[in-house]
Each structure stands twice: as structure tokens, then as C-alpha cells.
């Protein structure tokens, strides 16, 4: 079991396809603060509310010098529909084999209605300009989350 990532750790490098199939790597984002948020599934109630929260605070996030990137196990077609449906102004990455979710320690065994399955635990990592983790939010509660993220970008 990998150790849990904490503030001050180097963020694990990744390269994943975005909603258009174009690869996005952490290296390519050096020099910017990155809000890397992992969410379970496109177009489900909690994930939609979270994505729309980031969307509605985009101006404040951008002013803080941050780039918002969402990651789920969904493929690019699902991401394209999700972005179009809610006018999401940020990149969504497809982690279809969960390799990046595992590297960040957010791929967990979950339990719904007594059925156990593996999936993403809603988590956000704020990564500084040098690629170090500045703040970690685990088991994110959607309400008020964007404000916590904005506070950590200051």
C-alpha cells in the first residue's frame, strides 16, 4: 500500500488524455497552481454539483493563478457530453485504467447498498507551481469545497 500523499510531497507525474484525446501532463502545467480534483463519475448528482461549483468560481480560481483539472474513470465521450451539458470551462482527463487515481491514493474500495466495488473517492489536490502538493482534501463534501480550495490557493 502506497503511503498517503500529504502537503509538501512531490505530486505524482501523470499524462492522461483530455476530453479531445489530447495528452495533458503535470509537467506541462509547471509554473501554474493546479487544482487536480478526482471525482467518481460524469453527470451524477454530486459530481455535477462539484463541477458546476468550480465552473461558477472559475474567475476567482483563475485570478488565483490556478488551473482546474477534473479526473475520473470516464472516457472522453462521456467527458465531452458532461462539458457540453454544463458548459464546463476546464479540462477533464480520462483515467480509464485508474493508474493516476492509484498513484494519488484515491482509488478505494467503496460500498453502496451492501455491494462492494472499486472507484474514486472524491478528493482534491492543490499542487503548487513547482509540482509539490500544497493541500490535500479527501472524502470531499461538495458543499463549500470550492471555498476551501480558494482559501488554499492564497
Q: For the segment 121-142, what is each residue's pLDDT rounded down to a tens digit?
A: 999 999 999 999 999 999 999 9
Question: Residue 2: what pLDDT?
Answer: 53
From the first residue on, what is the mean pLDDT of each consecutive set of 10 residues in the chain (154 residues)? 82 97 96 96 95 97 95 97 98 97 95 91 96 95 94 92
Which pTM was predicted? Answer: 0.95
Active-site positions read: 47
| Domains of the chain as residue ranges with CATH | 15-153 (3.40.30.10)
What b-and-e string marks burial along 6-35, b requiring 16 or more CB atoms within 10 Å of the CB?
eeeeebbebebbbbeeeebebeebeeebbb
Amino acid at each position: 500500500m502506497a503511503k498517503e500523499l500529504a502537503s509538501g510531497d512531490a505530486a505524482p507525474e501523470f499524462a492522461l488524455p483530455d476530453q479531445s484525446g489530447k495528452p495533458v501532463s503535470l509537467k506541462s502545467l509547471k509554473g501554474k497552481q493546479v487544482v487536480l480534483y478526482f471525482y467518481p463519475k460524469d453527470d451524477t448528482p454530486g459530481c455535477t454539483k462539484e463541477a458546476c461549483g468550480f465552473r461558477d468560481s472559475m474567475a476567482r480560481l483563475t485570478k488565483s493563478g490556478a488551473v482546474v483539472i477534473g479526473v475520473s474513470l470516464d472516457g472522453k465521450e462521456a467527458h465531452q457530453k458532461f462539458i457540453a451539458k454544463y458548459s464546463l470551462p476546464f479540462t477533464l482527463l480520462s483515467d480509464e485504467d485508474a493508474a493516476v487515481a492509484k498513484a494519488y491514493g484515491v482509488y478505494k474500495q467503496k460500498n453502496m447498498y451492501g455491494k462492494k466495488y472499486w472507484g474514486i473517492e472524491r478528493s482534491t489536490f492543490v499542487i503548487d507551481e513547482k509540482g509539490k502538493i500544497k493541500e490535500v482534501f479527501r472524502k470531499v463534501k461538495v458543499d463549500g469545497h470550492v471555498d476551501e480550495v480558494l482559501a488554499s490557493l492564497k
